[in-house]
Amino acid sequence: MKTSTITAVLAIAAISAGCTTSPTRSRNLADHNVPAKTLAQQVCSNCHGIDGNSVSPNFPKLAAQQEEYIVAQLKGFRSHRRADPEGYEYMWGISRSLSDAQIKGLAAYFSAQKSIPPGPGNPKLVAEGRKIFESGLPAQGVPPCSTCHGDHGQGNGQFPRVAYQHSDYVIKQLTVFQRTNERPDGVAMKAVTHSLSDKNMEAVAAYLQQMPSK
């Protein structure tokens, strides 16, 4: 399923590479003349949604994500610095030939979209999750998430927006930070997640998916 999606996307890219379509309609990932908005709407949209509000939790939401953070992650995939398995599987190929200007344009496009809540988080866990987000878990040495991600989870610069993110994706990334070095820019998150239990992760992720957001 995963592989077939990538194959389909790459096939589309390959087909348009062979055509003499105008740059504004081309999906050719290797052509630096293709405007970022065209790539966003014709390539990225297949997984992340046309407005960055992905439907499937397999794909992180990009809508209203911090521009600086998106730039950093795309460059991280392009240089293979961010090496978590799904980043490797899905994003290394896609980012390989993007120019810095295209990356900037893609980040501007997605950061300007409005984030729509993907649906309520697990109602049994939301209250506990809110506590972790706002107050941390002092007994476990976990700082409040809001310190870096903002009171409304809106993020700031290199600190990503986490509000309305799919909870499955959040849990996956918390696990990556805690158990691997596959996201070396997440040293802060390594300390934060050090003593989080699976249940703590599920709770905070449930809260982020539905938190009252700005």
Is 107 or 123 the residue whose CB approaches ligand HEC more closely?
A: 107
Number of residues that make up the chain: 214
Residues that bind ligand HEC (CB under 6 A): 5-6, 9, 39, 43-44, 46-48, 58-60, 62, 70, 72-74, 84, 86-87, 90-91, 94, 106, 132, 142-143, 145, 147-149, 158-160, 162, 170, 172-174, 183, 185-186, 188-189, 192, 204
Query: With b meaning 16 or more CB within 10 Å and e meaning fewer, what string describes 181-196?
Result: eebeebeebbebbeeb
Is 31 or 86 the residue whose CB approaches ligand HEC more closely?
A: 86
Is 22 or 181 the residue whose CB approaches ligand HEC more closely?
A: 181
How many CB atoms lie under 10 A from the CB of residue 151?
A: 11
Task: Give the shortest CB-22-to-ligand HEC separation in angstroms.
Answer: 19
Task: Give the shortest CB-152-to-ligand HEC separation in angstroms.
Answer: 14
Is 87 or 118 the residue whose CB approaches ligand HEC more closely?
A: 87
Task: Give the shortest CB-57-to-ligand HEC separation in angstroms.
Answer: 10
Task: Give the shortest CB-208-to-ligand HEC separation in angstroms.
Answer: 7
> CA dist 106 to 33, 43, 110, 112, 115, Å?
13, 11, 6, 10, 16
Is 72 or 125 the residue whose CB approaches ligand HEC more closely?
A: 72
Is residue 26 within 8 Å of residue 15, measured between CB atoms? no
Task: Give the shortest CB-123-to-ligand HEC separation in angstroms.
Answer: 18
The C-alpha atoms of residue 53 and residue 121 are separated, in whole angstroms, by 16
Q: Which of 211, 207, 187, 191 is nearest to 199 (CA)?
A: 207
> CA dist 65 to 68, 72, 108, 163, Å?
9, 12, 10, 9
Q: What is the CA radius of gyration of the chain?
A: 18
End-to-end CA distance of the chain: 35
The C-alpha atoms of residue 195 and residue 179 are separated, in whole angstroms, by 11
Is 74 or 126 the residue whose CB approaches ligand HEC more closely?
A: 74
Task: Give the shortest CB-19-to-ligand HEC separation in angstroms.
Answer: 19
